[in-house]
Amino acid sequence: MKTKKKGPEKLIYVLVARKVQTDNLYPFINVDMTCGRLMAQIAHVVSKLKIRVKADPDEEYTTIILMVPNESTLVSRYIDLTDYIERYTSDIQVEIFSDTNPEFYGTKMSYPTAVAAMMSRKQGKKHFYDLPLWECKYMH
């Protein structure tokens, strides 16, 4: 019986913001992202990335979810990654997702909540070695 050659592992790294700082009032309000809301953000950003790269819907990916403290750090990491891609490689695909929910955030503003990147494990370790795995902490 012939076995298929196994190609490189398909990985998607997702960064999520633990808190979002809303700018509807001064002083700013830090909104803790609930587990359910973060799971939705993860699904949205991964879906957005797969659609953009025209990924085969039957293809399996390992998804590694990492946490950053807030949306400012998330945007900073996204910018750093896109700058790296522009300068050095086209092997990495990246997408950002922003959420709008006046009831949750208390404003009609849109806030970046998740970043997804399709890359090798080696690239993931290079770019995200300092980030902890996401842990569900806020259930409400």
Provide, rounded to the nearest whole percent, the portion of the chain with pLDDT above 70.
90
Q: For position 94, what pLDDT does the model report?
A: 96
Could you tell me the CATH number of the domain that includes residue 69?
3.40.1490
CA distance 97 to 105: 16
The domain total for the chain is 1
**Which has more confidence, 11 or 24?**
11
Domain that holds residue 39: 11-128
pLDDT higher than 80, residue 70: yes
Q: For position 125, what pLDDT does the model report?
A: 93
CA distance 94 to 104: 26
Is 92 part of any domain? yes
Model pTM? Answer: 0.88
Segment 21-68, tens digit of pLDDT: 887 556 677 888 889 999 999 999 999 999 999 999 889 999 999 999
Is 135 part of any domain? no
Is 121 part of any domain? yes
Both tokens assigned to 85: 């891609």
Is 139 part of any domain? no
Is 5 part of any domain? no
CA 132 to each of CA 10, 14, 100, 104, 126: distance values in angstroms, whole numbers, following the listed order: 20, 12, 26, 25, 14
CA distance 18 to 114: 10
Is 3 part of any domain? no
Q: For position 103, what pLDDT does the model report?
A: 85
Task: Give residues with Cβ within 8 angstroms of 2, minimum separation 6.
Answer: none
